Amino acid sequence: MKNYTNQILSFCLFFSFYTFSQGLQYEIGINDSYKQEIIQIANKNEFTYALVKYAYFYVYLEKYDSLGNRLVKMPLWENQDVSWMNPSQMVITNDNNIWVIGEALFCDVPNEAQHVYVFDSNCQRINTFVHTYDITLNGYSLINAMGSISDTSVAVNFRYFDTSWIEIFTPTTQTLLANVNTPQLFGFGKNSQFHLLGHTIDKIYGIDAQGILQDSITLPSFFREIGTWNDTIIVMGYNELYKVTPDLQSYTTHPIPNLSNFTRLKIDYQGVRFISSNFNKGVHYLDHNLSLQSLTIVPVFDPNNTIFDFDQSVTVAKNFGLTIHESVRLASYSLLNAQSNSVNRSDIAVLGLDFTDYLAQNVSVGNVYKLDAKANVLIKNVGQNVVDSVRLNHYYGPNIACGDNITSKYFANLNLAPADSMWIVFGWLGEYTNQFFNDSIKREYCVYSSNPNGIIDLSVANDNTCKTAFFGMLGEEELSQQSFQIYPNPASSVLNIKYTSMDEVLFHITNSVGQVFQYDTLKISTIDISDLSFGIYFLSLLDNSGNLVETQRFIKN
């Protein structure tokens, strides 16, 4: 397995919480499937909204309250034909509607679509606007950026071939601005001097109702976002703020001493707010003249590749690797509530995997076999808290069209005390089809645990177990209907046989490479296996003509 020691150590540092007087804190782990990736988060009031990608391509819009409880999990796609989602931006307008832009791929069809979604504050879909194009053409369509331009509307910059244009969206309408020669824009704003404001990384444009550029102003350094208050344009640079006159004719620079790396500009009737990221995150409060009023430090270490936002709370999201699958963690701090909540971690170990049923079926020439297996999984609570729920995951191969095939199952009401263990009936591990070139048909199955009690288990060394299943030899096709039973299995000295027919049959015992250890006529209901070495063997029954009836495997312990 891959070594994620450095990632986990960094992540533990990232989520080391300190005692402080300001802020309700929570942390949760998202691990509902085999692979997770957080794409965007946004905060409104004390709620957190997250775009989370599961199993490589399915994306959900999720809503969390101030205690980390997930209130809603809503898929972005509207039908199962959408197989791959790539949202690029999420904006919440002042009417509490949630806007998401991105692209969707339809498997096995050379066609993509640019989507603009709008949801209400409870993540219920209001509308979907779609641009479809043929990806086989020598060009591309891409959504560059989206920005709020009123309490109820957003502007989006599209590109296709060498053209670039702007469209205005309300929850029920879509308006195309006629000009298709706009620059590549990264954000928008609105004041009374122009129909629209758009910006690149160093320039602000005034744009009329046709999408035609009217005026522009270039600032001395790159910047990230713009906003307006009483028509004055406020610009957030990386290490300073600017005020630009409403007519785009002049600007003034407003440095903030000892602060750097500004992000997430927000302007309302209370003033101007943004986050700076040095070692700890700080939420800065300024008046509309850009004079610093107060500062709230949130003691969260901010490594690379984190996503965060704030409103009445500050939320930080981080993707990180657990063995070979990915997981997501959210941490949130209230800016209004002085209560501080700690997190009680859980730790589940996966100790064993016991196969309960096998089936190998030859599906075509060339030694192509379809393998099916069922198993029970042994877990142990090696943490300090009672574990009530856990998710077990198994990856069994790539999907033919796109993505991967994952078997992920959630088990609740476990009531597993510290140091206790239990067997869980996992059941079907997933169908696997492949061509086999050696004499034996075998496959390694691995099962991973995650999300005990809704929290990702950071003690990853004990989170998985693997075991090889031997299905038989090439040319020996198994039957799903068993004609005999063997027990106990595993067995140490005697193997009992329960055969549905009283006819005398032949049997042989082989190992995984076909070496024969016993070959005789079965006249009794027991077989002495005390001389066999520890390992996996196959008991085959043959009729009087020497034709194979059935093969089953057993373990000698």
On the 0-12 / 13-18 / 19+ scale of CB atoms within 10 A, 226 is buried
Task: Label each residue of 292-304 as H, E or C.
Answer: EEEEEEEEEECCC
> How far is the C-alpha of 551 from the C-alpha of 508, rounded, in Å?
9
Give the distance from CA 111 to its chain's centroid. 24
Terminal-residue alpha carbon distance, the chain: 27
Is the separation of the CB atoms in 384 and 421 below 8 Å? no
pLDDT of residue 11: 32
pLDDT of residue 302: 63
Is the separation of the CB atoms in 320 and 433 below 8 Å? no
Is the separation of the CB atoms in 309 and 295 below 8 Å? no
> How far is the C-alpha of 284 from the C-alpha of 292, rounded, in Å?
7
Residue corresponding to tokens 């071939």: 161
pLDDT of residue 109: 53
- Other CB atoms closer than 10 Å to residue 249's CB: what's the count? 9
The DSSP call for residue 491 is B
What sign does the dihedral 518-523-525-528 (CA atoms) show?
negative
Task: Label each residue of 4-17 as H, E or C.
Answer: CHHHHHHHHHHCCC
What would the two tokens of residue 326 be? 């990915």
Residue 309's H or E segment, with its range, is strand 306-310
Q: Which amino acid is at 444?
A: E
pLDDT of residue 18: 31
What would the two tokens of residue 453 be? 């009690």
Q: Which amino acid is at 11?
A: F
pLDDT of residue 279: 59
> How far is the C-alpha of 253 from the C-alpha of 73, rounded, in Å?
43
* Cβ-Cβ contacts under 8 Å for 69 (sequence gap 6 or more): none
* Low-confidence residues of the chain: pLDDT under 50: 1-21, 80, 110, 135-139, 477-482, 502
The upper half-sphere exposure of residue 330, i.e. CA atoms within 13 Å in the direction of its Cβ, equals 36
pLDDT digits (tens, 9 = 90+) for 138-162: 445 567 789 999 999 999 998 877 7
**DSSP structure string for 131-186:** EEEETTSSS-EEEEEEEE-SSS-EEEEEEETTEEEEEEE-SS-EEE-S--B-----
What would the two tokens of residue 192 be? 């009374």
> How far is the C-alpha of 380 from the C-alpha of 350, rounded, in Å?
7
Q: Where are the alpha helices (DSSP H) in 15-125?
A: none
What is residue 462's three-state secondary structure? Answer: helix
Kindly list the structural domains of the chain, giving each domain's residue range(s) and its CATH number in brackets, ordered by start.
Answer: 219-301 (2.40.10), 348-473 (2.60.40), 484-556 (2.60.40.10)
pLDDT of residue 303: 64
